[in-house]
A and B are shown apart, each in its own frame.
Chain A
Amino acid sequence: MLLADANSPVFSWNLLADFQEMWAYPFMVNAFRAGAIVSVVCAVVGWFMVLRRQTFAGHTLSVAAFPGASLAILVGVSTSLGYFGFCVAAALVIAALGRKGRDAGAEESAVTGTVQAFALACGYLFISLYKGLLEGPTALLFGSFLGITTGQVLLLAVVGAVVLAVLAVIGRPLLFATVDPEVAAGRGVPVRLLSALFLVLLGAATAEASQITGTLLVFALMVVPAATAQQLTGRPGLSLLLAALIGLACCWGGLIAAYYQPYPLGFFVTTIAFTGYVLAHLGRALHGALGRTRGSSFGLGGAA
C-alpha cells in the first residue's frame, strides 16, 4: 500500500494547523520533545566528534546500545538504563584500552573495532536468550518514535542537559586538544583526560539518539548535521550552532513525514539529513567554481 488510507490525516502545508493536529496526540508531543532534545545534543557532541575524527568510535558506541537494550529487555529493566549503561561502559573501555602518543589514532581504531564486534555478538546472544517473543529487533536497530513516555522524555532531558553542561565547561580546552594535541599537552592541557571524558559524553549522546533513530541510524543525527554545517561555514561557533539547527530540522522534519506517511522514521530523518548534506556540498562546489572564475580568493572558509 503506497498511499495512506482514507482516514489518515493529510499534510496541509498550513504548518500551524498541522502542528495543532499532531500535538493533539500525547505520543506525538513526546516524540517532538524527545526529538528536539536528542537532535540538539547529538549535533553538538557530533560536531566535536567529526572534528576529532572519531566517527568510528561514535559508531561503535551506538552499536553498544543494541546489546544494552536487548539485555535490558532480557532481565526486565528499563531499556533506557540498558542504552545508557552499555554506551557509557563501552566508552570507558575504549578510553581505558586506548594508548596515547603518536600512534594513538591507529591504536584507538583497532580497540574500537574489537569492542564493536564484541558488542554486536553480545546483542545477538541476548536476543536468542530471551524466551518470550522479542518485540521487533528492528525497532532496536532502526528506531521507533511511537512509544515514548513522558518519563523517558524527562530522562533524555536530564542526561542531555548534563552532557551539554559538561561540554560547555570543557569545550575550549577540548577544542585546543583536538586542533593540536601536542601543543595543548605542552601547555598543560590534560589531553588524555579530556579525550576520555569526551568519549563518555559521546556514549551518553549516542545512547540518547539510539532510542529515537535506532542504533544503526545514529549517525543521521550525530555526523550528518555536523558535516553539513562544516561544509557551509568554517567559523567554529557558527557551524556548531548550524549543526544544532540542522539536526533539529532533520529530526522534526522526519517526525512530520513519519506522521503523515506510514514509513519508518529513521528513513525520513536520514533522507532529509543526507539531502541537506548533498545540497551543502553542491552549494560549496558551485560557490568555489564561481569564485575561481571571478578570480576572487575568498572561499566558504576552511582549507580547500
Chain B
Amino acid sequence: MRAVLPRSVRRHPARLVLSAAAVAALAATSACSTSSSTAKASPSAAAGSNTIQVVAAENFWGSIATQLGGSHVKVTSIITNPDTDPHSYEPTAGDARTIAGADYAITNGIGYDAWSDKLLAANPAPSRTTLKVGDLVGKKEGDNPHQWYSHDSLYKVIDQVIADYKKIDPADAAYFDTQKQTFETQTLAKYNQLESDIKAKYAGTPIGASESIVTPLAESTGLKMMTPATFLSAESEGTDPTAADKATIDQQISGKQIKIYVYNTQNSNPDVVAQVNAAKAQGIPVAQVTETLAPAGATFQDWQTQELQGIADALKAATGK
C-alpha cells in the first residue's frame, strides 16, 4: 500500500465527506424520481387482455396452472432444470422481471422457495394475486414442503387456482370450470387410478425412502414409511443425518424389514447411494422419484404416473402380488 499524505491532508476533509454525502443523496434521489415517471411502462399487461400472466416458482405447479388455464393463461415457471436442487436455488434478474410482470404468482412456501418471498416483497403490485401453497394447505415452515406429492393438497391447489383465475378474469369463469372438470376427471384419471390401485393392493406395506419427498406419496397410497422421519428431513434439508438413524436404516435393509426402497435421484448424496446399493444387494427393489418434472418438458400427470408405475412395479416384484 502506498502512502498518500502530502501536507494538504489537513485542509478540509469534513467538507469533502459532506460532498460525498451529497453525491450519495443525489444518486439515490435521481433513482427514485426517474422511477415514478417510468413506472407506467410496467410490463404488467393484465388489463384489457384475456391472457393472465402466471408465474410459478416450480414447474410442477406451473404444469398444473398451464393445463387449468388453457388458452387464457401464459405460465412461466422459474425452477425447471431437473439437474438443479430447488432447495438451494438462486434467482436471477430474469426471475425478478418475470415476477414483477405477473398477474398471478404461485409459490410453494413452507420454506421451500424463500427466495420467491423476497422477490415478491421487492416488487409490490396491488393487482397481483399470490397463491402460497403452504398457507393454503395449512403447513408452516419446518413441515414437509413436498405438497405436490400429496393427493389432498393437489386437489386443494386445483380448487384455489381455478377460484383465483375466475376472480382475475371473471368473463371466462365458465371456461375455467370446464377446464377444471376436464383436468380432474380426464387428465388426472390415470394418476388417480394408479394411486387407488397401489392403495388397494399394497396398503400397509413397509417401505424405505431417501428423503421426506416420499412421505406425502406414502400417505396418499397407504404405504407404511419405515425410515425415521428425522433422517428424511435431514436429507431433504441438506443437513447431516444422525448416526443412530443411519444404523436403523442399515438394519431395516439388511433385515429386509422394508419391501421397497424409494429414492430422490435429484437429491442423492453418498449416504443415499450407499443405501441404494445395500438395498439392491439385499434384493430389495428400488424405485425412483424426482423433485421437479422429469424430463423437464413432461406434464405433471405424465411424470407422476410414471413414478407411481415404477413404485407399483417395484411393489409387485417385492411382494409377488
Shortest C-beta distance, A151 to chain B (Å), equals 9
Chain B residues with CB below 8 A from A135, complex form:
88, 111, 114-115
Q: Are A25 and B9 in contact (CB under 8 A)?
A: no
- 19 A–B contacts from the bound complex (CB under 8 Å): A25-B42, A26-B122, A27-B123, A30-B122, A36-B31, A131-B142, A132-B111, A135-B115, A136-B90, A136-B115, A139-B115, A149-B122, A172-B10, A237-B11, A252-B27, A260-B93, A302-B3, A302-B6, A303-B3
Query: B18 contacts which chain A residues (CB < 8 A)?
Result: 164, 168
**Cross-chain contact of A149 among B20, B93, B115, B121 (Cβ < 8 A):** B121
CB-defined interface of A9-51 with B at 8 Å, one 1/0 digit per residue?
Answer: 1000000000111011111111011001100110110000011
B89, closest chain A residue (CB):
A136
Nearest Cβ in chain A — how far from B217, in angstroms? 19
State whether the Cβ of B141 lies closer than 8 Å to any Cβ in chain A.
yes
B residues 26-61 in Cβ contact with A at 8 Å = 27-28, 31-32, 34-35, 38-39, 41-43
Would you call B247 an interface residue if the criterion is a C-beta within 8 Å of the partner chain's C-beta atoms?
Answer: no
Contacting residue for A20 out of B38, B111, B122, B236, CB 8 A: B38
Option from B17, B39, B93, B112 in Cβ contact (under 8 Å) with A171: B17
Chain A residues with CB below 8 A from B121, complex form: 147, 149
Closest Cβ–Cβ distance, residue B144 to chain A (whole Å)? 11
**What is the number of residues of chain B that contact chain A, defined by CB distance less than 8 Å?**
64
A33-B28 in contact (CB<8A): yes
**Size band of the A side of the interface?**
35 or more
- Pick the residue among B13, B19, B236, B240 that contacts A175 (CB under 8 A): B13
B95-103, B148-156, B181-189, B193-201 - interface stretch = B95-103
Min Cβ gap A160→B in Å is 7
- The reply to whether A26 and B123 contact each other, CB–CB distance below 8 Å, is yes
**DSSP majority for the A interface?**
helix
Q: Does A96 contact B (CB under 8 A)?
A: no
Candidate in B28, B41, B142 with the most chain A CB atoms within 10 angstroms = B28
State A237–B11 Cα separation when bound (angstroms): 8
Among A133, A231, A233, contact of B114 (Cβ-Cβ < 8 Å)? A133
Q: How far is the CA of A23 from the CA of B2 in the complex (A)?
A: 40
Q: Is A167 an interface residue (CB 8 A)?
A: yes
Identify the closest chain B residue to A29 (Cβ): B35
B1, B20, B38, B115 — which one has the most chain A CB atoms within 10 A of its CB? B20
B108–chain A nearest beta-carbon distance, Å: 11
129-167 of chain A: CB within 8 A of chain B: 131-136, 138-139, 144, 146-149, 153, 157, 160-161, 164-165, 167
Q: Is A105 an interface residue (CB 8 A)?
A: no
A75 to chain B, nearest CB (A): 13
Q: Tell whether, in the assembled complex, residue A262 and residue B93 are in contact, meaning their CB atoms are under 8 Å apart.
A: yes
Residues of A near B41 (CB, < 8 A) are 20-21, 24
Q: Would you list which residues of chain A between 251 and 304 have a CB under 8 Å from chain B?
A: 252, 258-260, 262, 264, 301-303
Which residues of B are interface residues toward A (Cβ below 8 A)? 1-6, 8-21, 23-24, 27-28, 31-32, 34-35, 38-39, 41-43, 87-97, 100, 111-112, 114-115, 118-119, 121-125, 141-142, 145, 236-240
- Write out the residue numbers on chain B whose beta carbons fall within 8 Å of the beta carbon of A146: 91-93, 95-96, 115, 118-119, 122
Rounded to whole angstroms, the CA-CA distance of A43 and B115 in the bound complex is: 29
Contacts of A53 in B (CB 8 A): 1
Query: A114 on the interface (CB 8 Å rule)?
Result: no
A19 to B30, CA, bound (A): 11
Chain B residues, Cβ within 8 Å of A244 = 20, 23-24
CA A57 – CA B203 in complex, angstroms? 62
Q: A174: which B residues are within 8 A, CB to CB?
A: 13
| B31 in contact with A303 (CB, 8 Å) | no
Taken together as a complex, chains A and B put the C-alpha atoms of A237 and B42 apart, in Å, by 42
Indicate if A169 sits at the interface (CB-CB under 8 A). yes
Chain A residues whose CB sits within 8 angstroms of the CB of B15 once the complex forms:
237
Which one, B20, B112, B118, B122, contacts A43 given CB within 8 A? B20
Q: Which residues in A have their C-beta under 8 angstroms from that of B142?
A: 131-132
Contact call A241/B115, Cβ cutoff below 8 A = no
Also in contact, A240 and B16, with CB within 8 A (given A23-B34, A26-B122, A27-B96): yes
CB under 8 Å from chain B, chain A span 28-86: 28-30, 32-33, 36-37, 40-41, 43-44, 50-51, 53
The verdict on A179 contacting chain B, using a C-beta distance below 8 Å, is yes
